[in-house]
Amino acid sequence: MSDSDDDEDFAYYGTPVEQLDEDESIPRKAPRLEDQIAKDKQGRRRFHGAFTGGFSAGYFNSVGTKEGWTPSTFVSSKGQRAETKRVKPQDFMDDEDLGVFGISPQVIQATSNFDSNRDQVQRKRVLDPSGPIPGIPVLEEILRPASETVGVKLLRRLGWRPGQGVGPRVSRQQKRLSKKEKKRMYGCQGPQGGDVGNNSSDGDSCDSDNNTESKITFAPDDVDTLLLPQAKHNTFGMGYIPLDRTPVLGVAASLLNPTPLSFTEKKKKVLIRGQAFGVGAFEDVDDDIYATEDMSIYDFGEDKKQNSEKRDKNAYSQQDKAMFGLTEALKGFKLSSKPHNCIKSYPWPTLPSDFIPLHKPRRRRFERKENELQGLGRHDMTVKQRARSIEEQPKAVVEIRSGVKGYTPKVPPQNVMQKKSEKTLDTSEVDQLYEEFKSSEKKLGSDFKPFSKDPEKQKRYELYLRMKEKGQKGQFYLAQPRGMTEWEKEREVREFARAAQLFQPLTTTMATRFVTASVSDALPQLKDGLNVNVPKVDKTNAGSEEIALLARDTDDDQMKAARMKMYGQMTQTTQDWYPDRLLCRRFNVPNPFPESSFVGLRKTKKEKFSLFGMMNAEIEDTAGLQKPRHKSEQKIDVEEATHQEDGILEDHPETYGLKVPVDGPPTMDLFKAIFQDSDSDTDDDDKKTDDTKPTHKNVEAYHGTANLLPQKLTVLDENEENKSPVTEIQEDPVSRFLSSIRSDQGKQNNADNVTEKRKIDGRRKRVSRFEPQAEDGVHNIQYPNCPSLEPSISIQDSSQSTEQSNFRADLPKPVFVPKKKESVATKPTPSKGIFANVDFSALNSLWNSEASSSQETSTLNNIDQIQPKPGVENSLAEVKGAAHREVDSDSSTDPESEYGPAVPSHLRHQAQMVRSVPTTSVDLVQKLGEKHREKLNYSGWVEKNEGKEKKASKKHKHRDKHKHKKEKRKKEKKSKSHKEKKKKKKKQKHISSSSSSDSSPQSSE
Amino acid sequence: MVSSEKPPSYLVRVMECKQGAVRAVRFNVDGEYCLTCGSDKSVKLWNPHKGTLLHVYAGHGYEVLDARGSCDNSLICSCGMDKSVMIWNVSTGESMRKFRGHAARVNCLAFNEESTVILSGSMDGTVRVWDLRSRRYDPIQILDEAKDSVMTVQVSTPLILTASLDSYTRIYDLRNGQLISNCIGEGVTCASFSGDGQCVLTSTMNSSLKLMDKDTGELLSQYSGHISKDYKVESCFTQSDTHVLSGSEDGNVYCWDLVQSTLASRLQHKGSSVVHSLSPHPSQPFLLTASLGQVWLWSSHSTEDDECS
């Protein structure tokens, strides 16, 4: 028990050393340093590697497990979204690392909330300004986490409360005493003093209460904390204040720091305070070892001086005054302490030598220069430049000029160029194709050459255009070089198509909207600009100008006519129009131009007016030997034969020329026709057309009617072909037909005529296409090449012998002759329906008469006026004899009652007519008069006849007008050379034709 | 010769189309239905004899100016101020094709006889021919001879008749490859072939209506009394060609005897100022007229007769 008692008495500190087994041998030596190896729990060597500094990681220096480390795969499904994993460093650590001695020991630590280091907290706050109130929360300032030191904790355990002093508890008296002591005492002697004071003050303060209160003890008062100035942070010697640079504003004036040294460094005023130098240990010089040597007492040269000057104002001012030489002031005055500040003046800046006093506005990047504004640059080039660039003769402008002025271009330069290029290029296939298609010689889409850089390509492009024109685009691939791949070929075709579209001639889009003033539309081939074959137009300037002038007025004239309600021929124009072949197919109509792929309207001259202009131009100088104006038709084949045709036509003067003046003195009527006031004349003529000729085709539009002329003419030729020259100037086709007919009859066996005949044959064929089907029979019979003309006549009714005589009379004279209903051979489209029996012309006349009285008179006196008017026919009538006169007189005997508006009477007449047609006598026919010609009853045959006469009358109308113009022009322009040449030519023509023309009147007579 | 056929003179029905102003009203090919073109970009299909609305075709970008039904009634073609020509499936009401290419608003339309081709005349002065058989979106041919707005296009099989404000009517003869242009003297707002195809009725801006010969362009007759100065006032023949009808800017439709050119009747449209669009029934004596927002159906028989029948 004693032992145990003894044991109990001992206090044990520390952990007892384990008892050693006796079996174990205790190593004698302590292990050497090298042998001491740090090992982990598994006994593996922990540190190894270079200088044993590296440590092993994972499984035998691999990662993680025996199998190694498998990377995590990203898996995310609809139901289970992959979460973004935040990887902690601990994830990559081994167990050892997490141990006490590891890298990241897992020991209990005060969390940051309870960490005294508040910087982290503040930083967090800054990082997360999510609260409504910015800045540090106020409560956090107030409520601080408890951070008690161990000492405080221990004291608390011992019963200490904050605010109490430490020590044994004291009575109240003692405490009071200690307070008194405190007041007297100063410093840290409090506790002792307190005790002392307590003792002394015990007696007097509380006597009576002592008994009760003496048992109550109080904790002693807390000791006042000592006010230590600053903790020592640095490693300098005690009391040494190192040099400290602070900006001026940062200086806190304090008693402890006397005036700091201030100087400017880098234009900043900087104060330096602190002690510069300490006192050396071995220095004896130091008198006052405790004197603080401040920087400010040292002299730093100029700055210091100024500083000192500032400090000593008086000294400064003195010095200043001395400096300005002012030592004394006047009596009653005082020298100013401030220096006089004068206004500073600066000299003018000197201009640099290369300065130009001109403002150049800065050019912006996106602004374009003026020349750039003009486009691709091709507009800037002159014709010559452009031509040079594409290595060809300048053509377009020159040719246009030449066409107008009348000198003929030698060879179409386009062809020259083509041939040249063909020679140089030896792509034989292309050439072949090119030749093939060149023959078509249509105008290309434009004269712009988009591929001029690559002549071969340009050539292919032109070929493409031509093929396109012909509608054989499909063959184009043949022309493409073999070296090209399919893709390239296709691409090129597309490129060409685009180019063709892009550089379409302006005319197609714009020219239709405008009338060009200088280049007349009348010249047929100028329209596309790529004018290759300018016809040899031997026209004077004047003539072409006139045409242009007239062409411009075309619309106006038509409008005028329309306003005057002279509808019909005056207001109608017929042109060839090429429908797309697909359109024809869609409409179930045969293509009228099967071999042409041209689509639309050929923009040719305004034919009507160019014709008249031409005629008038020629009347003057050639006295009827009018050079015909060809190219009136748009037929392709005719165009091909243009040059040939020209020659022929020139050889055949207009046989319908003004013969009357040649043969004898002009009759009065001719002068009348020329000089009479045109108004009455035209009015009458037009009225005639209105009233009497319901079915006029356009004068020049011979598509439907051209073949009718020869028929008429053959009739004429049979008996009185010689009369033909007496008639007025006719349009070319007429003359051509006449001449051809003449040649048929073998009266003139010129080679020219033969060729002409051939040409006309071709023409006939073409014309027949436009002909309504119904007329084919007639047409065949009246084919001009028919060896004998009898069939054409015999086909007529026997009763029409009078008609024939009428026609003979009609043809040469420009008088209106009533349309012969009896001559109806076939009617292409007889009017059906309700109009079949309605006499529109009569109604119309009625209307017209109502409309204007002047017109009315002319209408009513139609025939009377006509008959005496044109002298030509009068003279002719005399020549021709009784039959002819009979016709005229008969036509004039038309009863006026026939014009009456009453429909029933008309119907009656019509009925009569219908009945009487087969056996009409001349009288009856003429009695019926032109008013009763009904649309459905006319025949193309007669219609054409009328059309011709219309022409003649029209010419009368226009002649005087143009004659004046012509004269004027003649005076103005004395370009004699041209005209004389022309005249000569015409005379020759005249002579050549005179054989026929001269003979004809004689024979007729 | 005056036929006994009476012109439509009895008002059968007035339909409020509720599609803004009715720009045009057109009978379909057999006259059973009619189409109205509204300024609210819609085309409406009606049964005018019952006065019921059958379908609304919406899809144009701007006012619709003209519409036509194809010969088999399977397609509707419409055009308008959005410069496009649209083809509609009649039954489904969806737009099948849209032809673009006109540079200005499209005034008028015409199918050819077999409805394989559409011709559209536009204010840009062109008539474009669109193919319906193929899938081409560019026109077969552009008839750009007109120098001003094309107001009317009509097809009479080998012929295409156009009227334009450059005061010309043009007849394109497909069979003969000819273009016959006739100057009328004033802007032509409407031109139409007569039933027998021999005459052309032209309305011009100076309140005149002229009957012209198709071939010669001569004036056959003239009708006056109506007012047509500012609007595209249409005119037409009656189905039997006995009378000529024209809208007017005084709220009437004037009806003249064709031959005698005497005013036969006046159809008064009460409450409307301009009657601009007319559509005669292709076979029966009915007439559809359009004034501001209404379509009027007229008949030559009184309504009692209709009810009896």
Read off the pLDDT of residues A100-112 as tens digits, 9 standing for 90 and up. 777 777 777 766 6
Tokens of B21: 């102003």
Residues 6+ apart with CB under 8 A from A202: A171, A173, A174, A177
A682 exposure class (CB count in 10 Å sphere: 0-12, 13-18, 19+): buried
Q: Residue A64: pLDDT band by 50, 70, 90 thresholds?
A: low
* Contacting residues of A for B133, CB less than 8 Å apart: 586
Q: State which residue of chain B sits closest to A769, comparing Cα positions.
A: B176
Indicate which of A555, A576, A583, A847 best probes the interface with B, i.e. most B CBs within 10 Å of its own CB: A583
Lowest-confidence segment of A992-996, B110-114, B159-163 by average pLDDT: A992-996
Is A768 within a domain?
Answer: yes
Q: Are residues A506 and A391 in the same domain?
A: yes
Query: Among the ranges A11-15, A663-667, A946-950, B225-229, which has the highest mean pLDDT value?
Result: B225-229
Q: Are B88 and B43 in contact (CB under 8 A)?
A: yes
Partner-chain contact B176 A770, CB within 8 Å: yes
**A364 vs A643, residue with greater confidence:** A364
Tokens of A193: 């003093």
Q: Are residues A301 and A391 in the same domain?
A: no
Whether B123 shows a pLDDT value over 50: the answer reads yes
Q: Are residues A316 and A407 in the same domain?
A: no
Instruction: Return the axis-axis angle of helices A428-438 and A413-424, rounded to nearest 10°.
Output: 160
Partner-chain contact B114 A586, CB within 8 Å: yes
Q: Residue A614: pLDDT band by 50, 70, 90 thresholds?
A: very low
Lowest-confidence segment of A184-198, A438-452, A555-569, B20-34 by average pLDDT: A184-198
Q: State which residue of chain A sits closest to B241, comparing Cα positions.
A: A834
* Contacting residues of B for A580, CB less than 8 Å apart: 129, 140-141
Partner-chain contact A572 B181, CB within 8 Å: yes
- The reported pLDDT for the residue numbered A672 is 64
Tokens of B58: 């919406």
Is A507 within a domain?
Answer: yes
- Rounded-to-integer distance, Cα A177 and Cα A165, Å: 15
- The reported pLDDT for the residue numbered A940 is 39
Whose CA is closest to B237, among B206, B205, B214, B217?
A: B214
Indicate which of A586, A688, A838 best probes the interface with B, i.e. most B CBs within 10 Å of its own CB: A586
Nearest to B183 among A571, A577, A829 (CB): A571
Query: Among the ranges A770-774, A807-811, B162-166, which has the highest mean pLDDT value?
Result: B162-166
* Contacting residues of B for A766, CB less than 8 Å apart: none
Q: Are residues A641 and A749 in the same domain?
A: yes
| CA-based nearest distance A842→chain B, Å | 9
Q: Residue A48: pLDDT band by 50, 70, 90 thresholds?
A: low
Indicate which of A582, A591, A634 best probes the interface with B, i.e. most B CBs within 10 Å of its own CB: A582
| CA-based nearest distance B197→chain A, Å | 9
Instruction: Return the axis-axis angle of helices A190-205 and A172-184, rounded to nearest 10°.
Output: 120
Q: Are B50 and B39 in contact (CB under 8 A)?
A: no
In total, the C-beta contacts within 8 angstroms joining chain A to chain B are 183
- Rounded-to-integer distance, Cα A189 and Cα A740, Å: 160
Nearest to B183 among A508, A562, A697 (CB): A562
In this predicted model, what pLDDT tens digit does every residue of A66-98 receive, in sequence order?
A: 666 677 778 888 888 887 778 888 877 777 778
Average pLDDT over residues A583-593: 88
Average pLDDT over residues A593-609: 67
Average pLDDT over residues A578-597: 86
| CA-based nearest distance B166→chain A, Å | 10
Nearest to A559 among B183, B217, B259 (CB): B183
Is A159 within a domain?
Answer: no
- The reported pLDDT for the residue numbered A556 is 75
Q: Which of A459, A491, A513 is the last residue of a domain?
A: A513
Whether A596 shows a pLDDT value over 60: the answer reads yes
Average pLDDT over residues A577-594: 87
Q: State which residue of chain B sits closest to A828, comparing Cα positions.
A: B215
The DSSP output letter for A301 is T
Whether A46 shows a pLDDT value over 90: the answer reads no
Nearest to B131 among A555, A577, A586 (CB): A586
Q: Residue A969: pLDDT band by 50, 70, 90 thresholds?
A: low
Q: State which residue of chain B sits closest to A698, comparing Cα positions.
A: B216
Whether A718 shows a pLDDT value over 50: the answer reads no
Q: State which residue of chain A sits closest to B218, comparing Cα positions.
A: A568
Is A563 within a domain?
Answer: no
List A247's β-bridge partners, or say none.
A270
Q: Residue A286: pLDDT band by 50, 70, 90 thresholds?
A: low
Q: Residue A686: pLDDT band by 50, 70, 90 thresholds?
A: very low
Indicate which of B118, B183, B238 best probes the interface with A, i.e. most A CBs within 10 Å of its own CB: B183
Nearest to B185 among A563, A572, A600 (CB): A563
Indicate which of B176, B194, B239 best probes the interface with A, i.e. most A CBs within 10 Å of its own CB: B176
* Contacting residues of B for A569, CB less than 8 Å apart: 216-217
Q: Are residues A829 and A945 in the same domain?
A: yes
Average pLDDT over residues B110-116: 91
Query: Among the ranges A167-171, A249-253, A890-894, B82-86, which has the highest mean pLDDT value?
Result: B82-86
Q: Phi, psi (5° rounding) for residue A415? A: -65, -40
Average pLDDT over residues A935-952: 42
* Contacting residues of A for B213, CB less than 8 Å apart: 568, 694-695, 840, 935
- The reported pLDDT for the residue numbered A497 is 83
* Contacting residues of B for A703, CB less than 8 Å apart: 176-178
* Contacting residues of A for B212, CB less than 8 Å apart: 567
Whether B39 shows a pLDDT value over 50: the answer reads yes
Q: Are residues A801 and A708 in the same domain?
A: yes
Nearest to A593 among B177, B218, B259 (CB): B177
- The reported pLDDT for the residue numbered A911 is 43
Partner-chain contact B217 A572, CB within 8 Å: yes
Q: State which residue of chain A sits closest to B116, comparing Cα positions.
A: A586
- Rounded-to-integer distance, Cα B266 and Cα A225, Å: 124
Is A18 within a domain?
Answer: no
Q: Residue A352: pLDDT band by 50, 70, 90 thresholds?
A: confident
Whether A602 shows a pLDDT value over 60: the answer reads yes
Q: Phi, psi (5° rounding) for residue A221? A: -65, 155
Whose CA is closest to A654, among A604, A591, A695, A611?
A: A611
If you average pLDDT over every residue of chain A, what do you get? 56
Whether A370 shows a pLDDT value over 50: the answer reads yes
Nearest to B182 among A572, A701, A772 (CB): A572
Q: Are residues A309 and A398 in the same domain?
A: no
Lowest-confidence segment of A138-142, A459-463, A564-568 by average pLDDT: A138-142
- The reported pLDDT for the residue numbered A300 is 60
Whether B34 shows a pLDDT value over 70: the answer reads yes
Q: DSSP letters along A609-678, please?
A: HHHHHHHHHHHHHHTT-PPPP---S--HHHHHTHHHHHHHHHHS--TTS--HHHHSSPPHHHHHHHHS-H
Partner-chain contact A592 B175, CB within 8 Å: yes
Q: Are residues A306 and A435 in the same domain?
A: no
Q: Are residues A314 and A401 in the same domain?
A: no
In this predicted model, what pLDDT tens digit does every residue of A463-494 receive, in sequence order?
A: 888 777 777 777 777 777 777 778 888 888 88
- Rounded-to-integer distance, Cα A920 and Cα A908, Å: 16
Partner-chain contact A833 B195, CB within 8 Å: yes
Q: Which of A485, A513, A541 is the last residue of a domain?
A: A513
Average pLDDT over residues A188-210: 43
* Contacting residues of A for B240, CB less than 8 Å apart: 834
The DSSP output letter for A221 is B
Average pLDDT over residues A207-233: 66
Partner-chain contact A571 B182, CB within 8 Å: yes
Query: Among the ranges A446-455, A502-511, A907-916, A921-930, which has the highest mean pLDDT value?
Result: A446-455
Q: Are residues A426 and A310 in the same domain?
A: no
Q: State which residue of chain B sits closest to A691, comparing Cα positions.
A: B218
Partner-chain contact A844 B219, CB within 8 Å: yes
Q: Are residues A843 and A923 in the same domain?
A: yes
Q: Residue A384: pLDDT band by 50, 70, 90 thresholds?
A: confident
Q: State which residue of chain B sits closest to A947, comparing Cα positions.
A: B216
Is A436 within a domain?
Answer: yes
Q: Which of A484, A513, A542 is the last residue of a domain?
A: A513
Partner-chain contact A568 B219, CB within 8 Å: yes
- The reported pLDDT for the residue numbered A942 is 41
Amino acid at A541: N
- The reported pLDDT for the residue numbered B35 is 94
Indicate which of B174, B194, B196, B214 best probes the interface with A, i.e. most A CBs within 10 Å of its own CB: B174
Helix (H) / strand (E) containing A271: strand A268-273
Whether A923 shows a pLDDT value over 90: the answer reads no
Whether A360 shows a pLDDT value over 60: the answer reads yes
Q: State which residue of chain A sits closest to B103, comparing Cα positions.
A: A509
Q: Residue B83: pLDDT band by 50, 70, 90 thresholds?
A: very high
Q: Residue A711: pLDDT band by 50, 70, 90 thresholds?
A: very low
Lowest-confidence segment of A270-284, A371-385, A490-504, A618-632 by average pLDDT: A618-632
Whether A582 shows a pLDDT value over 60: the answer reads yes
Is A419 within a domain?
Answer: yes
Q: Are residues A405 and A298 in the same domain?
A: no
Q: Are A893 and A818 in contact (CB under 8 A)?
A: no
Partner-chain contact A574 B184, CB within 8 Å: no
Average pLDDT over residues A933-948: 42
Is A690 within a domain?
Answer: yes
Domain assignment of residue A441, given as a range: 387-513
Partner-chain contact A572 B140, CB within 8 Å: no
Whether A727 shows a pLDDT value over 50: the answer reads no
| CA-based nearest distance B211→chain A, Å | 10
If you average pLDDT over every residue of chain B, what do you get? 89
Whose CA is closest to A767, among A733, A800, A742?
A: A733
Indicate which of A552, A771, A834 best probes the interface with B, i.e. most B CBs within 10 Å of its own CB: A834
Partner-chain contact A571 B131, CB within 8 Å: no
Nearest to B117 among A586, A835, A907 (CB): A586
* Overall domain count for chain A: 3
**A890 vs A593, residue with greater confidence:** A593
- The reported pLDDT for the residue numbered B74 is 92
